[in-house]
Structure 1
Amino acid sequence: MAWYAYCIAEKQAFPELLRHRKPIPMETVQGIEGNQVFLYPASDLAVIVSEHSSSENLNQKAAVDHARVISDCFKMSTVLPFRFGTVFNDDDALRRSIRSNQRQFVTNIDRLRGKAEMHLKVTLDDCCREQIRRLIPESMHAVGKEYLSNLRENATLQRERQTRARAVSVQMHRMFSPLAEEITCKRTDAGKMLLDIAHLIDSKCIERYQNKYSSASVLMKDCQMQLSGPWPPYHFVHRLTRAASHATAGSPAMSA
């Protein structure tokens, strides 16, 4: 039997597992395609799984269901999410994979216990968009010194853009003082820069973090901000388990 994997949790969070060595159903949780979700005991860990058929369509709705199951489990335990689409071909594959990485999984759970991820999206004007847009057609026809000049100007503008994004991310760090953070920056179709910021915080400090967000929204008048969370620590599981992660079916691949 193949198993679809959602996450790894603490066995002690589910007292009913103490009396069982075989998978037992989680009565209140439904998985992908409405499948029954099971607690699969593995030493001091519990793997959250559901039965899987190769005919099942792992589409966008399935991705939403995958995240929902992880969020439901996060309410009961520290979790290490699996990447969407992770399938173990049989019981032996599941047990072998968990056993070979168990020490690292237990370490990660210990480090993430009592912590949550908050997600900030910060949108700001791209200060160099128009200048770079102007340089592109000019560079296509430039030669010699003019071409080199355009290259230097473009590099300067790119550095200014990076400096602007870095300054905002540093300001966010000072305001929120997270335990850890992951930041990406990209340009939007609307000519803006989008900072995607994940903050790892103590779960006891969620209300304080939300209050800081309210204050930051007022202070950062040149930015638009959106907050979501608390979430399971998706970004920080990836960081901690990079060496043990595999993308192939039948191996644990942690979410980014």
Structure 2
Amino acid sequence: MTGLRYVYAVCRPFGAALQAQLTGVAGAPPKLLSHHGLIAVLSEVPERDFSEEPLKAHLEDLDWLTATARAHQGVIDALTAVTTPLPLRLGTVFRDDSGVRVMMEAREDVFRRTLDRLEGRVEWGVKVYVDPESAADADERPPAKAASGRDYLRQRRMRTKSHEEMWQQAETFARRLHETLSGRAEDFRLHAPQNSALSGAAGRNVLNAAYLVPRRESEEFVEVVDRTKDDNPGLRVELTGPWAAYSFTEERQGNEEGA
């Protein structure tokens, strides 16, 4: 290799082959670098794009960032199908193989401890949204023409009560769902609700959680989520995964170019 080293993940040795024709960041196929019984999964990337200054500039380019993130995730997904990877942060770059080995030695204990904990496990994401039409109905339904000021105030109180009951119902449903799912998972993380303006998802997010589930128990976990999807009209449950266990790694790496 003559370019920089873009590292996707660290994992233990695995016997199954990765997908044929798999390409990663910058269109480069992933390679395996073995060191002290661990594997770094990496690609060669051009210095003109991934050295420190160009990389900083590219990270401000939404189109470039989206394409790079998609390629990065594609390699992680391929690894997740055959082993338990410990994903590194997007844009983790080293000067050469020696730099990758130095990083692996420095973090070897953490890598091994985390891989032991995550072995045979995957992450499932569950989000609950209040349907935007239901929220709009509660917020914007025009009141009937009031016969008097007293009628107007009564209608306002009824609309406020209806609005509060809708959100209370949503939060109760989300809390009960989380209690059920966390009881079927080995670990969980509750993330901050997503801002719909940023995520592009319709509706108000009232649950944004990740669950660590043994791979062999994933089918049952998915069935539990599927059974809840029609329990409450006006609410939407979204399930994503299985993913590499991003939310359960013990440390997240920053950009490492030049290490």
Q: Same fold (TM over 0.5)?
A: yes
In structure 1, C-alpha distance between the alignment counterparts of 2:91 and 2:169, rounded to whole Å: 37
Selected match of 2:255 from 232, 235, 248 = 248
Amino acid at match of 1:188: S
Matching of residues 91-170 of structure 1 within 5 Å: 91-124=97-130, 167-170=172-175
- Tell me how far 1:95 sits from its aligned partner: 0.9
Contact 1:119–1:227 under 8 Å retained in 2: yes
Amino acid at match of 1:247: G
Matching of residues 27-38 of structure 1 within 5 Å: 28-38=21-31
Change (3 A) 1:122 1:93: same
User: What do residues 103-128 of structure 1 show as CA deviations (whole Å, max 9, x unaligned)?
Assistant: 11011111001111111121026999
Would you say 1:74 and 2:80 are equivalent positions? Answer: yes
The structure with the greater share of residues assigned to strand is 1
In structure 2, the partner of 1:135 is none
Would you say 1:205 and 2:217 are equivalent positions? Answer: yes
Q: If the length of structure 1 is used for normalisation, what is the TM-score?
A: 0.71
Structure 2 unaligned residues grouped into runs of 5+: 50-57, 59-63, 138-166
- Tell me how far 1:45 sits from its aligned partner: 0.7
RMSD: 3.4
Change (3 A) 1:100 1:174: same
Change (3 A) 1:26 1:216: closer
Selected match of 2:196 from 169, 188, 192 = 188
- Tell me how far 1:94 sits from its aligned partner: 1.0
Contact 1:175–1:216 under 8 Å retained in 2: no
In structure 1, the partner of 2:243 is 231
Contact 2:129–2:203 under 8 Å retained in 1: no
Contact 1:80–1:109 under 8 Å retained in 2: yes
Greater Cα shift, 193-202 or 32-41: 193-202
Would you say 1:49 and 2:32 are equivalent positions? Answer: no
Greater Cα shift, 56-65 or 95-104: 56-65
- Tell me how far 1:14 sits from its aligned partner: 3.6
Any idea what SS the aligned residue of 2:30 has? strand
User: What do residues 36-79 of structure 1 show as CA deviations (whole Å, max 9, x unaligned)?
Assistant: 21001111110000001133465311110100101101111110
Change (3 A) 1:215 1:247: same
Aligned length: 213
In structure 1, C-alpha distance between the alignment counterparts of 2:236 and 2:20, rounded to whole Å: 41
User: What do residues 219-256 of structure 1 show as CA deviations (whole Å, max 9, x unaligned)?
Assistant: 2334111112111111111xx22xxx44232499xxxx
Change (3 A) 1:93 1:111: same
In structure 1, C-alpha distance between the alignment counterparts of 2:136 and 2:187, rounded to whole Å: 31
Q: If the length of structure 2 is used for normalisation, what is the TM-score?
A: 0.70
Any idea what SS the aligned residue of 1:36 has? coil
Contact 1:187–1:194 under 8 Å retained in 2: no
